[in-house]
């Protein structure tokens, strides 16, 4: 165990724990109501929303996995940059409308909106189930982020329950303050997390190149095959279409995730969301720098150093960034950086569990089993569900190989995009029929899962054969196209048959 | 309900700006190159990073236009 790192790390960890509990009294509201516990009373202004969404979308797993991909695979890992670059303009156009209609009608989840807009319980259920399925492995992956930094501090040299103990303690604390304070806890903690992240990233992109002889020397040590994307060869478009479709598909999917929607709906006005879409790209700049850490780790040759070899054997490229920090920074600053990653896991894990709990309570438990659920009973149910979700994620990571969580999260992106026609197109037009959207969703889910399964769950880049060409592209985008075709065709058929339409409970004015 | 012509003009400007930003961000052959490099950073990396600022500016303009 490295004492210097651990002491600094524990200092910040204790600090955010205290903040997590104090948060219950911040902008005090009646936490026995679901919109107070699960959306913090929809009262967050521009600054808090900026920290909350930044803390929510740029997760610890991002900080570990994006540079790990750059470290292992090179240029393709940089797709995270055009991805987040495109996500905010899309959100700027779409999500102020979702905020307004949700505010008007008291919607807490995307499934609430879909239910009101299309009057289809099966569609609302589909949206809720998809959200929960996509979120669960994502929470589990946050634990992978905590796991690698705990290992980096010199714990978990042993295996078994003692090795997992720090992780279990961290998660029990997280579960306790989320239960107690709801969305206010991650919002307050996000302030600390983001400051630590920015400090770490800025220090890293200045100090590490000084050690390694400058950026030219760093990029000079990267093999040509990893420095750029493989150009098209013959009839195969190669990495170019994979890169572009991964970026575009991920950008479309980002704000469909329940934790993103929960963050957006907690804003105090639609203008707060609009302003934030111009301000949030600051995190994308940090992300570009974080991605570059992958090349720095490769240039520093961390994997070849015997001290880190056992960790690389256990965690693979995910250990690249922790190893780089251990290699390049003094112990106390490694503590700061590791705290940034671990707290960076707690914030999204809390918001994700709240978002999934909201979905389960509102759109599965209440809609299917308990129509009269409301008030304090509803809030209590959601709090308990958030506990179950976190225990489930913890058990998943401890009992199963983390590879499963990674593969499921890959699928999660393919699944969540299937709710795009109902949510993103739904805020602009009620043209699609509820049943048609459900059928499209089913098609997209099956096709997307099939594509990823045909790649043995190792990749979501599907080599589409089209008119003699091979177009490798993101399976989410390909399956979304099928989804849209089916939803459109079914709607046209239903219109042609003059089948009765369900009542749209929203009016055009509700979206402004 | 009729849309204010100024808002409509703003929407067209912001929409065209967004299309341009997105087209460049997704047109891989344009930036998949090493030169011109900047401080030893290949074009591929520094250009996309700078393009983040372009996208943020476009959203800022859209916000100002009251879109």
CA distances from A238 to A19, A77, A131, A464 (A): 48, 15, 31, 11
Instruction: Note whether ipTM > 0.95 here.
Output: no
Measured CB to CB, residues of chain A less than 8 Å from chain B are 75, 78, 81-82, 84-86, 88-89, 92-93, 214-220, 227-229, 231, 240-241, 243-244, 247-248, 274-275, 277-279, 281-282, 284-285, 288, 292, 508-509
Two structure tokens written together for A321: 């960034």
Two structure tokens written together for B39: 């401080």
Closest residue to A244, CB basis, from B1, B26, B53:
B26
Cross-chain Cβ contact A216/B25 below 8 Å: no
pLDDT at A161: 60
Q: Count, in order, helices (H) and strands (E) of chain A.
A: 24, 2
Chain A residue numbers with beta carbons less than 8 Å from the beta carbon of B32 are 75, 228-229, 231, 240
Q: What is the pLDDT along chain A (512 residues), one digit of tens a residue?
A: 678 888 888 888 888 888 888 877 777 777 778 888 878 788 888 888 898 888 888 888 788 888 988 998 889 889 989 999 999 999 999 999 999 999 999 899 999 999 999 999 899 999 999 999 898 888 888 888 888 888 888 775 555 566 677 788 888 888 888 888 888 888 888 888 888 889 999 999 999 998 888 898 899 888 888 888 888 887 888 788 889 999 999 999 999 999 999 989 999 899 999 999 989 988 889 899 999 999 999 998 888 888 888 888 888 888 899 999 999 988 889 989 999 988 888 888 888 988 998 898 888 888 878 777 777 788 888 888 888 888 888 887 777 777 777 777 778 899 999 999 999 999 999 999 999 999 999 999 999 999 988 888 888 888 888 888 888 889 999 999 999 999 999 999 999 998 888 888 898 888 88
Q: How far apart are CA A242 and CA A87, in angstroms?
A: 17
Instruction: Quote the crossing angle between the two packed helices A331-359 and A320-328, to the nearest 10°.
Output: 150
pLDDT at A95: 93
Closest residue to B55, CB basis, from A85, A275, A292:
A85
Global pTM value: 0.90
> Tokens 């960790």 correspond to what residue?
A311
- Name the DSSP letter for residue A360: I
Cross-chain Cβ contact B52/A220 below 8 Å: no
Please, is A199 exposed, middle or buried when counting C-beta atoms within 10 Å of its C-beta (0-12, 13-18, 19+)?
A: middle
Cross-chain Cβ contact B48/A78 below 8 Å: yes
Q: Which residues contact B55 (CB under 8 A, 6 or more apart)?
A: A85, A86, A88, A89, A281, B21, B25
Measured between CA atoms, how close is A283 to chain B, in angstroms? 10
Q: How far apart are CA A27 and CA A45, in angstroms?
A: 12
A-chain residue closest to B27, CA distance? A244
B22 in A contact zone (CB under 8 Å): yes
């Amino acid at each position: 165990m490295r004492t210097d790192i651990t002491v600094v790390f524990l200092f910040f960890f204790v600090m955010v724990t205290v903040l997590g509990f104090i948060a219950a009294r911040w902008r005090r509201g009646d936490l026995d109501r679901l919109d107070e516990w699960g959306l913090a009373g929809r009262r967050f202004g521009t600054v808090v929303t900026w920290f909350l969404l930044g803390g929510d979308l740029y997760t610890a797993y991002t900080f570990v996995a994006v540079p790990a991909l750059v470290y292992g695979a090179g240029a393709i890992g940089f797709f995270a940059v055009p991805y987040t670059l495109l996500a905010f303009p899309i959100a700027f156009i779409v999500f102020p409308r979702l905020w307004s209609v949700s505010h008007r009608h008291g919607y807490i989840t995307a499934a609430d909106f879909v239910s009101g807009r299309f009057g289809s319980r099966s569609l609302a259920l589909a949206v809720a189930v998809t959200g929960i399925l996509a979120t669960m492995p994502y929470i589990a992956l946050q634990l992978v982020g905590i796991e690698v930094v705990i290992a980096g501090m010199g714990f978990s040299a042993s295996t078994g329950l003692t090795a997992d103990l720090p992780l279990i303690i961290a998660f029990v604390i997280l579960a306790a303050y989320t239960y107690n304070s709801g969305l206010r806890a991650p919002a307050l903690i996000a302030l600390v997390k983001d400051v630590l992240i920015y400090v770490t990233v800025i220090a890293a992109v200045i100090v590490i190149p000084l050690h390694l002889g400058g950026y030219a020397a760093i990029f000079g040590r990267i093999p040509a095959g990893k420095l750029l994307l493989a150009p098209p060869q013959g009839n195969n478009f190669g990495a170019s279409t994979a890169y572009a479709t991964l970026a575009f598909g991920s950008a479309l999917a980002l704000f469909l995730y329940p934790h993103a929607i929960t963050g957006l709906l907690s804003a105090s006005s639609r203008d707060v969301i609009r302003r934030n879409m111009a301000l949030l790209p600051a995190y994308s700049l940090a992300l570009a720098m974080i991605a570059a850490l992958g090349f720095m780790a490769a240039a520093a040759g961390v994997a070849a150093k015997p001290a880190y070899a056992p960790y690389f054997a256990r965690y693979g490229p995910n250990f690249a960034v922790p190893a780089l920090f251990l290699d390049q920074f003094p112990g106390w600053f490694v503590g700061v950086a590791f705290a940034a990653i671990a707290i960076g896991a707690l914030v999204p894990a809390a918001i994700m569990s709240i978002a999934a709990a909201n979905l389960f309570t509102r759109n599965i438990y209440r809609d299917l089993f308990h129509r009269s659920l409301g008030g304090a009973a509803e809030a209590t149910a959601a709090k308990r569900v958030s506990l179950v979700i976190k225990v489930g994620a913890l058990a998943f990571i401890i009992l199963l190989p983390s590879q499963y969580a990674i593969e499921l999260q890959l699928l999660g992106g393919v699944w969540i995009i299937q709710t795009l026609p109902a949510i993103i197109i739904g805020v602009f037009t009620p043209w699609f029929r509820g049943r048609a959207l459900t059928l499209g969703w089913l098609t997209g889910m099956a096709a997307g899962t099939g594509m990823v399964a045909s790649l043995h769950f190792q990749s979501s880049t599907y080599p589409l054969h089209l008119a003699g060409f091979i177009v490798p592209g993101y399976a989410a985008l390909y399956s979304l196209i099928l989804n849209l075709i089916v939803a459109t065709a079914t709607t046209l058929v239903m219109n042609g048959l003059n089948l009765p339409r369900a009542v749209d409970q929203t009016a055009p004015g509700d979206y402004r | 309900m009729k849309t204010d012509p100024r808002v409509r003009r703003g929407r067209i400007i912001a929409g065209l700006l967004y299309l341009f930003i997105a087209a460049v961000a997704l047109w891989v052959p344009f930036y998949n190159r090493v030169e011109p490099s900047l401080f030893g950073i290949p074009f591929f990396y520094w250009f996309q990073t700078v393009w983040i600022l372009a996208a943020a500016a476009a959203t800022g303009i859209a916000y100002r236009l009251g879109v």
